[in-house]
């Protein structure tokens, strides 16, 4: 099987679902906030109706506990954010923070990003897609499970507006090289800085995990490519 196979994304699972236990606060937040902020992957969205405005839309795949997504939404009220995360405690934490901060520019999916992209997101509707610290599948025999493959980039490209950006970040150098190779080979994307890796932009918050890694001397690689 190659990453050009149209069924590749359906057959290869690019993440491991670690369910964990919901705290009472997370469970309450999901029950309270989901009717307003939760989305169904099987229902196509209308972005203008969803947010009641025409502001730019950023979609983040795998937002973890949601802290960085909440920071971005708080600091950029003139931009809309759609987050995808399969880990329910992370969804609960994000929604609790959304309620606390009274945010209105965030919506959430709690299922596989591929299903969301294929079924719910209209073509050419996104201004930015973010993929921060995805599972690196560091063993060579597992590299086929890495989400950044040609077919995935085809799908991302279809959802981005012309001039929209795909921003990925990883702390695994081998995965950074893998993503760079795939993106450089894709005719629909151009490196925003012509060649090489980008500096972390101010809009991407540093996570606690990333700060700890930096203190230990670990590298972080950002890739920002523009859809043409």
Q: Residues 152, 186: contact at Cβ < 8 Å?
A: no
Identify which of 78, 192, 56, 180 has the alpha carbon closest to the alpha carbon of residue 124: 56
CATH code of 25-227, in short, is: 3.40.50.150
pLDDT in tens, 44-72: 999 999 999 999 999 999 999 999 999 99
Q: Pick 15 or 162 by higher pLDDT.
A: 162
Give the Cα separation of 59 and 89 in Å (integer).
19
Sketch the domain layout of the chain as residue ranges: 25-227
* Angle made by CA atoms 115, 121, 124, in degrees to the nearest 5: 135
Q: Is 154 a catalytic residue?
A: no
3-state secondary structure of 188: coil
Q: Report angle CA 195, 139, 16 to the nearest 5 degrees.
A: 95
The pLDDT of residue 13: 54
Which candidate in 135, 154, 171, 181 is catalytic?
Answer: 135
What's the predicted TM-score (pTM) here?
A: 0.90
Q: Give CA–CA dist 194/92, Å, rounded.
A: 39
**Paired residues of 198 in beta bridges:** 222
What are the residues whose beta carbons fall under 8 Å from the beta carbon of 47, sequence distance 6 or more? 57, 80, 122, 125
Section 199-226 average pLDDT:
89
Residue 63: predicted pLDDT = 95
> For the chain, how many residues are written?
228
Q: Identify the pLDDT of residue 218.
A: 84
Q: Which 3 state secondary structure label does DSSP give 165? A: strand
């Amino acid at each position: 099987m190659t990453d050009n196979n149209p069924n590749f994304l359906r057959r290869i699972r690019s993440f491991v679902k670690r369910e964990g236990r919901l705290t009472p606060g997370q469970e309450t937040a999901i029950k309270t906030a989901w009717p307003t902020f939760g989305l169904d992957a099987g229902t196509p969205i209308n972005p203008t109706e969803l947010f009641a405005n025409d502001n730019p839309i950023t979609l983040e795949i795998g937002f973890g506990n949601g802290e960085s997504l909440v920071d971005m939404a708080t600091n950029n009220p003139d931009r809309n954010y759609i987050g995808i995360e399969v880990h329910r405690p992370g969804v609960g934490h994000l929604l609790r923070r959304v309620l606390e901060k009274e945010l209105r520019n965030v919506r959430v999916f709690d299922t596989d990003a591929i299903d969301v992209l294929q079924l719910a997101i209209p073509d050419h509707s996104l201004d930015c897609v973010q993929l921060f610290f995805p599972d690196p599948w560091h063993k060579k025999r597992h590299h086929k499970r890495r989400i950044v493959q040609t077919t995935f980039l085809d799908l991302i490209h279809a959802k981005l507006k012309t001039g929209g950006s795909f921003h990925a970040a990883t702390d695994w150098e081998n995965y950074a090289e893998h993503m760079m190779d795939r993106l450089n080979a894709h005719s629909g994307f151009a490196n925003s800085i012509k060649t090489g890796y980008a500096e972390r932009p101010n809009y991407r918050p540093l996570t606690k995990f990333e700060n700890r890694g930096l203190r230990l001397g670990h590298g972080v690689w950002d890739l920002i490519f523009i859809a043409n």
